[in-house]
Amino acid sequence: QKEVEQDPGPLSVPEGAIVSLNCTYSNSAFQYFMWYRQYSRKGPELLMYTYSSGNKEDGRFTAQVDKSSKYISLFIRDSQPSDSATYLCAMSGGSGNTPLVFGKGTRLSVIA
Amino acid sequence: DTGVSQDPRHKITKRGQNVTFRCDPISEHNRLYWYRQTLGQGPEFLTYFQNEAQLEKSRLLSDRFSAERPKGSFSTLEIQRTEQGDSAMYLCASSLGWGNYEQYFGPGTRLTVT
């Protein structure tokens, strides 16, 4: 079993839909959780960063962490064609400056 | 603030040749990380530095790989005697450290070994 599991998709939604992206993990030491967006042949771009359990909102994006279930989510409201990309969850434990462990990424297409 | 930069962006090399990649982190970021990403996979950790000290190396980093960060500024990743399995995107990331853990990635160097 991999430390971080993420459904690779692809996921296709109509413009304006609410998108839900999820990851599960097995290492209870993980404390820091991030979501990255990666366009084709580009480097990952940091979208959201949360520490421990709880919710965090930034514009159309909401990140949720449920440490008791070892489950994290990213919600995108009012999705746009420009949101079409691969979304990677990543996490680290201990001091937080340790290397990130990534999921495989979910490929999202938002259709106009 | 210009972000993390990497050079070259693309490299095509023949099997058996040596290649070197460069990463310039965000100014004042004292942590620098190298990751490797293959098609359809998330990035995998290779090694990281705090200032000039290399703190951890993944078991993915074979003896053919070496990384340096002289003077705690830019970093280089060298692959000796390249193999076709080394073909991947090599990503560099930096973080401020000191309680600030967000890692910012560069555009990557895409390596193709023929």
Give me the pLDDT at residue A96, please: 61
| A residues 15-34 closer than 8 Å to B (CB) | 32, 34
Q: Which of the residues in chain B have pLDDT under 70?
A: 1
pLDDT tier for residue A47 given thresholds of 50, 70 and 90: very high
Share of chain A above pLDDT 90, in %: 81
pLDDT of residue B98: 73
Q: Which of A29, A44, A45, A48 is nearest to A96 (CA)?
A: A29
Which pLDDT score, from 0 to 100, does residue A12 have?
Answer: 97
Q: Which residues, 6+ apart, have CB-to-CB distance to B59 below 8 Å?
A: none
Tokens 């040596």 correspond to B18
- Residue found under tokens 């209870």: A28
C-alpha A56: how far from its chain's center? 12
Pick from A8, A32, A97: CB nearest B31 = A97
Contact, A71 vs A9, CB < 8 A?
no
Q: Tokens 């070197």 correspond to what residue?
A: B20
- A–B interface: beta-carbon pairs under 8 A: 63
CB nearest to B108's CB, from A43, A96, A98: A43
Which residues of chain B does A100 touch, with a Cβ-Cβ cutoff of 8 Å? 33, 35, 43, 45, 93, 103
A 62-81 → B contacts, CB under 8 A: none
The answer to whether the Cβ–Cβ distance between A99 and B56 falls below 8 Å is yes
The rounded mean pLDDT for chain A is 93
**Looking at residue B1, what is its pLDDT?**
55
- Whether a cis peptide bond, with omega within 30° of 0, leads into A10 is yes
**Mean of the pLDDT values across residues A53-57?**
90
Token readout for A5 is 């599991």
The residue of B101, B111, B112 whose CB has the most chain A CBs within 10 angstroms, and thus the best one to mutate to test that interface, is B101
Q: Measured between alpha carbons, how far is A74 from A62 in angstroms, rounded to an integer?
A: 6
* DSSP assignment of A83-102: G-EEEEEEEEETTTTSPPEE
A73 three-class SS: strand
Q: CA nearest B86: which of B111, B59, B57?
A: B111
* Cβ pair B42:A105 closer than 8 A: yes
Burial class (CB in 10 A: 0-12, 13-18, 19+), A111: exposed
